[in-house]
Structure 1
Amino acid sequence: MNTTRRDLLKFGALATAATALPSIASSGTAPAPVGKAAKPLDILILGGTGFTGPFQVNYALARGHKVTLFNRGKRPSPEWPGEVEQLHGDRNTGDLKSLAGRKWDVCIDNPTSLPFWVRDAAKVLKDNVGHYMFISTISVYADGSKPGMTEDAPLAVYKGKDAMAETQANLMADIENLYGPLKALSEAEVRKHYGERSTIVRPGYIVGPRDETDRFTYWPLRVAQGGEMLVPGDGQDPIQVIDGRDLGEWMIRLAEARTYGIFNAVGPDYPLSTDAMIYGCQAVTANGIQLTHVSPQFIDEQKVELPIWVPRADNPYAGYGSVSNARALAAGLTLRPLATTVADLLDWFHALPAERQAKPRAGISREKEAELLAAWKARKTG
């Protein structure tokens, strides 16, 4: 089946639960030097050791900021290139004692999916942070079928009994119905407590090094293997992704500029189709490929999932591939070339343990792909 709202929601919720990961490989090109910020900030990051958090930390340190992390301390922290203060607590149980009596210029809230986390943190932080930044999701939109969704589109409505009583277990058990509405209510809590001192960032698919979901990773890995590839649709369905480094670093620049408001954090800054994405991966791997396009109906009939791809027609989630990022670009969002993301992602993935590489977490096996290609050709010639 094609990528559905459930796929986007499930992996979106899990992305922040990634374990501590190996160091990030580069594409062989030395990164450009990062200049110091005009005014150093005291930054509190809720979370900080998952997917995008380490990118925020590394960039903030490079810019000369002071960084404090608050989390449960369940994961080993990466080796930071500077001093990072670590505070421990548990937002599930309301244990926020280590935050009491402290002040920060800005707070970045990375992992929240439950509105009571925002409410309870505000009891301690509301008068002690100047700027509250919240990572949300494009899944908050009520109607995912419309291309070009802007930040002003209507939001999903919670239909349960008590949003403040929802738990992580409830969320994971009914993620398709709860994730978007609970994120929307979390946003509402942010605005309630911090008002115009808040920034809400709504990413779509976050990709690149450290992405433990393998949703986007499936495609460069498959292209690197070469040969005949099964490609869903006609190859022209729109794709949107954002490199986790671009997201994390932009959050720090938004904090430096005291930029408030709501922003869709998606890329690239040009229309990207399924075929263009695949050929972009080929430009990095340099392996010969032959694309065989199969219909969305065939994919549905075969009950398989091909990640990232969302058909642009007759699909309630077609808009997920063409969300408007105009406001974010105007606010300084910069995006790495696709080739850089692909090269760095492959370097990172190939540095993982062999047993992890042997079991990608999204996409289909080569054996299943061959089976599907044979079935498609038999249908076409039958």
Structure 2
Amino acid sequence: MTKQGMDVLVLGGTQFVGRHIVETLLSAGHRVAVFTRGRTPDELPETVERLKGDRDGGAEGLAALSGRTWDACVDVSGYTPRQVRASAEALRESVGRYVFVSTVSVYGEPDRHPVREDDPLLPEAGEDVTEVNGQTYGPLKVTCERIVEEVYGDRSVLLRPQIVAGPYDPTGRYTYWVDRVAAGGEFLAPGDGSDFMQVIDARDLARFTQAVLEGGLSGAYNLAGPRLSWREFVAVARGATGSDAQPVWTPAEVLEREEVNVPLWLPAGGPQGGLMDVANDRAVAAGLTLTDPEVTARDTRAWSAGTPQKVFLTPEREAEVLGARG
């Protein structure tokens, strides 16, 4: 495999993480084909080859991949063992390396500090489980990882990203906070500011994927950015947006009493606090570079300002909760 001019197949590739990966690989001089159901338009360059199929359709759904070879496959759309088993086995002799985009949600002891790649994982979900929800998401990814390693051995790479942030994010979790700070005024901020926020810029994930392919790497890598206290994160968002917004720190007991779930906040001492303390040493040593948090916030806001976003807390509800602080 040469470092430049590789042929790469991306399973998914038109939305958010996949889009960033495709654009990064193209800019590095690689040739990219994406495999999707083709049901929605995409904004990828015309140079991208578009293959249509359905991973839930077994061998028939993967027919567009038969008789082809690629230097590597990047799987950004594998959520169930059925999907990953089918693609991994179908491509066993057709790709040189299989990169599976997993999640830090695979870890079975998320209260550890920090969370590292060799920490225990959650119990696997059965290979017949197809429903993806808050309870099954992590266990399903654990099973998917095992399948990829089983089929590809040292030709497999497992990427375990932290919450992914940046332009094109459809979840709105990180974007909510940047937009809320940009709006100004007093705003509900969770806890007392001493808990931690940690994300990974989608573009950093994409560049690391490129490094993995060009370097022929194997193994598992946590992908996480700088760990900021919530006070630091608010300061970053204010600087990035030029806002004078003022946080009103709201204790956990108030949020619980008012049944308010704000995105991204995990109390540092809570049962999942380690998921905001994810060690990235291994990935950094392998070439992970990190975008300045203010740049991530600035670029995310530049994109979100013209794109409708998910509303986690309406202004009316926010004011109501703040009024209930007592």
Q: TM-score range by the shorter chain?
A: over 0.9
Kindly provide the amino acid, as one letter, of the partner of residue 40 in structure 2.
R
Contact conserved, 1:215 with 1:362, CA < 8 A, in 2? Answer: no
For 1:57 and 1:176, locate their aligned partners in 2 and report how far apart those are by CA, in whole Å: 28
Using structure 2 for the length normalisation, give the TM-score.
Answer: 0.95
8 Å CA contact 2:154, 2:219 repeated in 1: yes
Q: Map residues 45-84 of structure 1 onto 2, 5 A cutoff.
A: 45-80=10-45, 83-84=47-48
In the alignment, structure 1 residue 363 sits paired with structure 2 residue 312: yes
State the partner residue of 2:237.
281
Aligned to 2:284: 329
2:73 equivalent in structure 1: 107
- Using structure 1 for the length normalisation, give the TM-score: 0.81
Q: Does 1:98 align with 2:58?
A: no
TM-aligned CA deviation for residue 42 of structure 1 = 0.8
Residue of structure 1 aligned with 2:211, choices 250, 253, 264: 253
Gaps of 5+ in 1: 1-36
Tell me what 1:121 maps to: 87
Cα distance in 2 for partners of 1:40, 1:256 equals: 10
RMSD: 1.5
Within 1, Cα distance between the matches of 2:88 and 2:294? 41
- 2:306 — aligned with what? 351
- State the secondary structure of the residue aligned to 2:173: coil
Contact 1:280 1:339 in 2 (8 A): yes
Q: Say whether the 8 Å CA contact 2:19–2:44 is kept in structure 1.
A: no
What SS does the corresponding residue of 1:231 show, helix, strand or coil? Answer: strand
Q: For the Cα contact (< 8 Å) 1:232–1:296, is it kept in 2?
A: yes
CA shift, 1:158, in A, is 3.2
- Which aligned pairs between 1:1-382 and structure 2 lie closer than 5 A? 38-80=3-45, 83-94=47-58, 95-158=61-124, 163-167=126-130, 170-171=131-132, 175-268=133-226, 271-313=227-269, 315-352=270-307, 356=308, 360-376=309-325, 379=326
Paired position in structure 2 for 1:25: none
Deviation larger for 195-204 or 292-301:
292-301
Structure 1 stretches of at least 4 aligned residues deviating more than 6 Å after TM superposition = none
Q: State the one-letter code of the partner of 1:137.
A: T
The percent identity for this pair of structures is: 39
Higher relative contact order (CA 8 A, sep 6+): 1
Code of the residue aligned with 2:51 in structure 1: it is L
Deviations 1:308-334 (A, max 9, x none): 111012x22111111111111111111
**Alignment coverage as a number of residue pairs:** 323
Q: CA deviation at 1:243?
A: 1.2
Between the aligned partners of 2:90 and 2:13, the Cα distance in structure 1 is 19
| Cα distance in 2, alignment partners of residues 121 and 292 from structure 1 | 48
Do the aligned partners of 2:23 and 2:44 also contact (CA within 8 Å) in 1?
A: no
When residues 130 and 182 of structure 1 are mapped into structure 2, their CA distance, relative to the original with a 3 A threshold, is same
Residue 70 of structure 1 aligns to a residue in which SS?
Answer: strand
